[in-house]
């Protein structure tokens, strides 16, 4: 039996590239999934394609909005009875103007997609994990969180904030058997990245399955002593 068998995990951003692959990897290990996203059709197709569709349920929510997250969390509790963990994959990326030219809207968009979505979901799930006596939270930051680059400051800053948020929440919850960690992926091998960077070799990028495998480890009991970590997942990128 898998060590993840029957764990109930909320997966945000489930309709995206990494979210879909993570759902498939976790489902194969017996995880019962709350698939959260904004695209009902994609979520429904994803659920039907999982190893055990009956172990998953779909919840449509825009996690940029706290009220929507609260409703979603209550729906998950009604469906599954408890929550064992949260994987925050919802987010976004954009290149843009230099810092002195970047409009406020660009900063707001990245902070909304990457920081506020993560904060909203953590804030809503922690009371349920405290009631359960423990749990796991995994956030997705980025390699750019630790090494800024030109024309992507709003993205890099928003992901750096995810790292700091992870460290702070981990410190707050360490006495409650709740671990909080984040990943720092390098360039992911996705259709979008292949289209945007045709001159680069995707064999050097990070396979989505590789990221999902690290997530599976972090929500397992084997990772019970790891908290507050920002884990590089760079591959050869």
Give the catalytic positions in this structure: 155
Q: Which residues are 184's β-sheet partners? A: 232
Burial string for 11-47 (b: 16+ CB within 10 Å, else e) reads bbbbbbbbbbbbbbbbbebbbbbbbbbbeeebbeebb
Phi/psi of residue 5, each to 5°? Answer: -55, 125
Quick one: angle between helices 17-28 and 40-48, nearest 10?
Answer: 30
Tell me the C-alpha distance between 47 and 29, whole Å: 15
């Amino acid at each position: 039996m898998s060590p993840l068998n029957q764990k109930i995990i909320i997966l945000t951003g489930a309709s995206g590239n990494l979210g879909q692959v993570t759902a498939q990897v976790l489902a194969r290990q017996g995880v019962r999934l709350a698939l959260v996203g904004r695209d009902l059709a994609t979520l429904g197709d994803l659920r039907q394609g999982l190893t055990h569709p009956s172990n998953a349920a779909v919840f449509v929510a825009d996690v940029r909005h706290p009220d929507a997250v609260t409703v979603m969390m209550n729906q998950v509790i009604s469906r599954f009875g408890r929550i064992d963990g949260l994987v925050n994959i919802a987010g976004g990326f954009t290149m843009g103007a230099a810092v002195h030219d970047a409009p406020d809207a660009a900063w707001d968009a990245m902070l909304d997609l990457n920081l506020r979505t993560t904060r909203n979901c953590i804030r809503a799930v922690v009371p349920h994990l405290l009631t359960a006596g423990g749990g796991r939270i995994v956030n997705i930051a980025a390699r750019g969180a630790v090494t800024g680059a030109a024309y992507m400051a709003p993205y890099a800053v928003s992901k750096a904030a995810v790292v700091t948020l992870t460290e702070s929440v981990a410190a707050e919850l360490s006495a409650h058997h709740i671990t909080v960690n984040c990943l720092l992926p390098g360039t992911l091998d996705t259709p979008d990245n292949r289209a945007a960077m045709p001159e680069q070799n995707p064999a050097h990028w990070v396979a989505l399955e590789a990221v999902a495998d690290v997530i599976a480890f972090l929500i397992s009991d084997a990772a019970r002593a790891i908290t507050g970590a920002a884990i590089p997942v760079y591959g050869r990128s």
